[in-house]
């Protein structure tokens, strides 16, 4: 599975958009990009996933570059409850093994 | 709402003890997983199960075993706990065919002394 690189931390003002980048330059054609987050003392929470098209759901938008070597998770109007560690994961869809979360990005949403 | 519950939030056990961690999901999911999470190492898969009585080893199965006698319940067993098994243990489940959207339980922080 492809390795991902994320900044260790980011700050965002409450109410503004939070844009979290992820590099995955070794991604293979059958690998999806997944985003999860983990709020302190809770289990991880699925956010969104995509293959090559941009995706949007009630929580966030996922923008994947045309060459698929990087992606950005967008939280359109960040709230204090969005403060969490955000993990970008690249994995073939049916590969249960190697679901490696890595260190993620700690997003601090400030009032 | 999918609910994944774990038997304990915090557990303290002594070296050599047999430890049972239980996970229950209420959404009839086929797939269930056990992970451990350690600082700097991320989330690592211990075992998973895609059906009752079926199990597959993950990345780090050594020192652990699992049991899935009923679809909703997946147990992780530490036959003889050791201090290097002190960790946060997370259970997750998914519907067959949607392996990406894993629902996680709140975790069990196990300390082995």
Look at A96 and B33 and tell me if their CB atoms are within 8 Å: yes
pLDDT digits (tens, 9 = 90+) for A22-42: 999 999 888 889 999 999 888
Q: Tell me what pLDDT residue A102 has.
A: 73
Q: Tell me what pLDDT residue B49 has.
A: 93
**What's the whole-number mean pLDDT along residues A64-90?**
95
| Separation in Å, CA A23 to CA A7, A26, A87, B99 | 10, 9, 12, 22
In this predicted model, which residue has the larger pLDDT, B54 or B101? B54
Look at A43 and B101 and tell me if their CB atoms are within 8 Å: no
Give the nearest chain B residue to A88 (CA atoms): B42
Q: Tell me what pLDDT residue A9 has.
A: 96
pLDDT band of B95, cuts 50, 70, 90: confident
pLDDT digits (tens, 9 = 90+) for B9-66: 999 999 999 999 999 999 899 999 999 999 878 788 899 998 898 999 988 999 999 9
B35 interaction partners in chain A (CB closer than 8 Å)? 99
In this predicted model, which residue has the larger pLDDT, A94 or B50? B50
Tell whether B38 is within 8 A of chain A (Cβ).
no
In this structure, of A7-21, A90-104, B5-19, B88-102, the range with the lowest mean pLDDT score is: A90-104
Query: How far apart (Å, rounded) are the C-alpha atoms in residues B72 and A107?
Result: 34
In this predicted model, which residue has the larger pLDDT, A92 or B102? B102
pLDDT band of B102, cuts 50, 70, 90: confident
Is-contact A100 A6, C-beta < 8 A? no
Query: How far apart (Å, rounded) are the C-alpha atoms in residues B33 and B49?
Result: 6
In this structure, of A79-83, B34-38, B42-46, B68-72, the range with the lowest mean pLDDT score is: B42-46
Highest mean pLDDT among A18-27, A38-47, B88-97: A18-27
Is-contact A30 A92, C-beta < 8 A? yes
């Amino acid at each position: 599975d492809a390795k991902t690189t994320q900044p260790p931390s980011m700050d965002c003002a409450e109410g503004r958009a939070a844009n979290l980048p992820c590099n995955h330059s070794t991604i293979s054609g059958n690998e999806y990009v997944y985003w999860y987050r983990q709020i302190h003392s809770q289990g991880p929470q699925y956010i969104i996933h995509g293959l090559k098209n941009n995706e949007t759901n009630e929580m966030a938008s996922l923008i994947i570059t045309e060459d698929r070597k990087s992606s950005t998770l967008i939280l359109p109007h960040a709230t204090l409850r969005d403060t969490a560690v955000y993990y970008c994961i690249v994995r073939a869809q049916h590969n249960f093994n190697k679901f490696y979360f890595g260190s993620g990005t700690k997003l601090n949403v400030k009032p | 709402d999918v609910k994944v519950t774990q038997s304990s939030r915090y557990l303290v056990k002594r070296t050599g003890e047999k430890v049972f961690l239980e996970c229950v999901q209420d959404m009839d999911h086929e797939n269930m997983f056990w992970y451990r999470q350690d600082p700097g190492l991320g989330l690592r898969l211990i075992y998973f199960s895609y059906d009752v009585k079926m199990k597959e080893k993950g990345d780090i199965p050594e020192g652990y075993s699992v049991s899935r006698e009923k679809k909703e319940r997946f147990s992780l067993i530490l036959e003889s706990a050791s201090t290097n098994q002190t960790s946060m243990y997370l259970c997750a489940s998914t519907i067959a065919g949607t392996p990406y959207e894993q629902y996680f339980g709140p975790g069990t922080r196990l300390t082995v002394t």
